[in-house]
């Protein structure tokens, strides 16, 4: 029985790691964003603020947690106690799995306020990348297309 719980726990870990949030930084593109036209504007950084980007809530963590919790809970007691333990374990495991997935895929981000050359003021939020630091007063490119906007050097 312990092997079953260990197997499900490693399955949960694998599923959570595979559900990690995709890249949200300036250098990350989804496949559908390739070979498309993007509008390019130039601007100046007015301010930069650190933010947190929430993690994914795909349901993978909830499902895997419910399975692990249900299996673990079903080993409590005997008869009806096993059924109740399994149900309660599944509920608690599902809640814990959802929280684990969201926490494991949460990212650090930056909110960059920009003054475009047109005079318009905008803000763009994207994942923080260690090699890409934006400084107040710096000239940057703003790329927009397909409902996505990013700031690059």
CA distance 32 to 60: 24
Question: What was the pLDDT predicted at 102?
Answer: 62
pTM of the model: 0.58
- Average pLDDT of the chain is 78
| pLDDT(144) > 80 | yes
**pLDDT value at residue 26:** 65
Q: Where residue 113 falls among pLDDT bands split at 50, 70, 90?
A: very high
Give the model's confidence band at 82: pLDDT under 50 very low, under 70 low, under 90 confident, else very high: confident
Q: Phi and psi at residue 56, in whole multiples of 5°?
A: -70, 155
């Amino acid at each position: 029985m312990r092997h079953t719980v260990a197997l499900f726990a490693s399955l949960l870990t694998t599923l959570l790691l595979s559900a990690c949030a995709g890249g949200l930084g300036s250098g990350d593109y989804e496949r559908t964003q390739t070979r498309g036209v993007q509008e390019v504007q130039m601007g100046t950084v007015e301010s930069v603020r650190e933010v947190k980007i929430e993690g994914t809530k795909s349901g993978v963590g909830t499902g895997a947690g419910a399975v692990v919790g249900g299996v673990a809970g079903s080993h409590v007691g005997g008869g009806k106690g096993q059924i109740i333990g399994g149900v309660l374990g599944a509920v608690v495991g599902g809640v814990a799995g959802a929280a684990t997935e969201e926490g494991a895929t949460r990212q650090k981000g930056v909110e960059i306020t920009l003054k475009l050359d047109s005079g318009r003021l905008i803000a763009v939020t994207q994942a923080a990348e260690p090699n890409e630091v934006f400084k107040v007063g710096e000239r940057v490119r703003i790329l927009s297309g397909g409902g996505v906007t990013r700031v690059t050097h």
